[in-house]
């Protein structure tokens, strides 16, 4: 083996070990830093329950026709922004008639689902919010108040939002 190949292999192994250590540290220390960063940029953050979903065809800013769902939320708790009893969020994806559009990086929300919503404002004059940070903007909760598929709890999210300086 030549010296250059050995150096490249050694660097790759060290980088892989470092990534593994970072993943372990993140898992042990609570929510990922991404929650704090997303909280800083969000206009409003709420813990809410889906009470209704209405899907329709729409055209995005790039001229593409797609299906969007207006999701009505009952706000259970406000983590950032003025408290309100309800909000509407526009999310890409949904079903119109027998045509369904699934969006790989956004959850398909159903009535009675509960989540933490990091919200950004829509265009001027549009009262519906948008998920801030796209897929980071909707963290669905399971029955034990954990972010679905993770060890992160709702309390961890609350703490991260507080530490973000809102």
Task: Name, in order, each residue with C-beta under 8 angstroms of 16's C-beta and a sequence gap of 6 or more.
Answer: none
pLDDT of residue 33: 53
**CATH T-level assignment (fold) for domain 33-163:** OB fold (Dihydrolipoamide Acetyltransferase, E2P) (2.40.50)
Give, for all 166 residues of the chain, the pLDDT tens digit.
445 444 544 555 445 544 443 443 344 444 455 889 899 999 999 999 999 999 999 998 899 999 999 999 999 999 999 999 999 999 999 999 999 999 988 889 999 999 999 999 988 888 899 999 888 899 999 999 999 989 999 999 999 999 987 6
Task: Record the pTM.
Answer: 0.78
Distance CA 43, CA 157 (A): 16
CA 45 to chain centroid, in Å, comes to 11
């Amino acid at each position: 083996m030549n010296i250059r190949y050995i150096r490249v292999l050694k660097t790759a192994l060290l980088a892989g070990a470092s990534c593994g250590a970072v993943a372990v540290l993140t898992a042990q220390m609570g929510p990922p830093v991404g929650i704090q960063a997303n909280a800083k940029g969000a206009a409003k953050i709420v813990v809410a329950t889906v009470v209704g979903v209405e899907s329709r065809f729409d055209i995005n800013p790039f001229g593409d026709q797609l299906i969007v769902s207006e999701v009505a939320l009952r706000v259970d708790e406000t983590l950032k922004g003025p408290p309100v009893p309800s909000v509407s969020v526009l999310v890409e994806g949904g079903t119109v008639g027998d045509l369904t559009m699934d969006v790989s990086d956004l959850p398909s929300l159903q009535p009675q689902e509960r989540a933490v919503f990091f919200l950004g404002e829509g265009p001027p004059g549009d009262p519906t919010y948008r998920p801030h940070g796209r897929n980071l903007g909707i963290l669905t909760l399971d029955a034990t108040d954990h972010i679905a598929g993770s060890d992160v709890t709702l309390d961890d999210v609350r703490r991260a939002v507080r530490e973000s300086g809102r």
